[in-house]
Amino acid sequence: MFVRIIQISDLHIKKNKDAILYNANPRKSLELTLEQLLKEKNDFDILLLTGDISDDGSLESYEFVLNLLEKTNKMIYYINGNHDNKNNLISKFSKSIYFRQLDELVINNWLFIGLDSCVEGKDLGFLSNIEIQKCESLIRKYDNSKYNIVLVVHHHLLPVGTPLIDDCPIINSTQLLDIINNNRQIKIVITGHVHNDYSIPINELAKLETGLSSFAQFKKGGSNEVEDIVKGYGYKIFEFTKDFYSTSQVFIKN
């Protein structure tokens, strides 16, 4: 059975509806992202939000996202990013029948595991023992060649070659890499955080797949947070069949 998932990442919505970040209005950009998505001829099954949904962690920012994305009438799974206030995020999104925090999700023969890599007050990522144990426990629970596994986490676990963002990855990624290398059923690690689309091999079976920001991208190879910003919005499309997946991107430069 064919499943299409849309990844929207790094929305950075602020309390102030007129707030500007990287010379763009994140609220307006998200509205344009959704408008573009709903124009597409091909329908989708699920929205996946991979963190930094808010820039300031405000209740108002989450209320805006909830009200806007509920219009899709699709299930929306999310993880938090380093800019999010997790308590506020869950408080708002738990009121919706469409929003679900991603912990464990099975779609056909694909298992999606959501992990929290955020450290309060820090841009970098770190996976606590609790998160590592959760990951290992769920892998054991589905220890069956029937399932392909997707790990979903905000921070990237490998360098993407962009100094602007490579200084704040998962700093203890070795533990996660060991899990991936010891479990051949893990096929994908989906992340946000890097504000651009990358597809990087982790080993011969698994890939790191990162998503576009819904309002501004970090230029690949860039190191300057002023000069190396690409204005534009977009999303990443994942298409899953029984044992394979493919990706494509929609990016609108403005």
Give the pLDDT of residue 41: 75
DSSP-derived letter for residue 26 is: H
Give residues with Cβ within 8 angstroms of 182, minimum separation 6.
none
Tokens describing residue 58 = 């405000």
What is the rounded distance in angstroms from the CA atom of residue 202 to the CA atom of residue 96?
A: 36
| pLDDT tens-place values along the chain, 254 residues long | 789 999 999 999 999 999 999 999 999 999 999 999 999 878 999 999 999 999 999 999 999 999 999 999 999 999 999 999 999 999 999 999 999 999 999 999 999 999 999 999 999 999 999 999 999 999 999 987 789 999 999 999 999 999 999 999 999 999 999 999 999 999 999 999 999 999 999 999 999 999 999 999 999 999 999 999 999 999 999 999 988 999 999 999 88
Closest CA to 215 of 62, 42, 5, 34: 34
- Can you spell out the DSSP letters for 133-200? HHHHHHHHHT-STT-EEEEE-SS-SS--S-HHHHTSSBTTHHHHHHHHHH-TTEEEEEE-SSSS-EEE
- Domain residue limits at 34: 3-253
Domain total in the chain: 1
Q: What is the CATH number of the domain that holds 235?
A: 3.60.21.10
* pTM of the entire predicted model: 0.97
**Helix-helix angle 86-93:59-69, to 10 degrees:** 40
Q: What is the pLDDT of residue 10?
A: 98
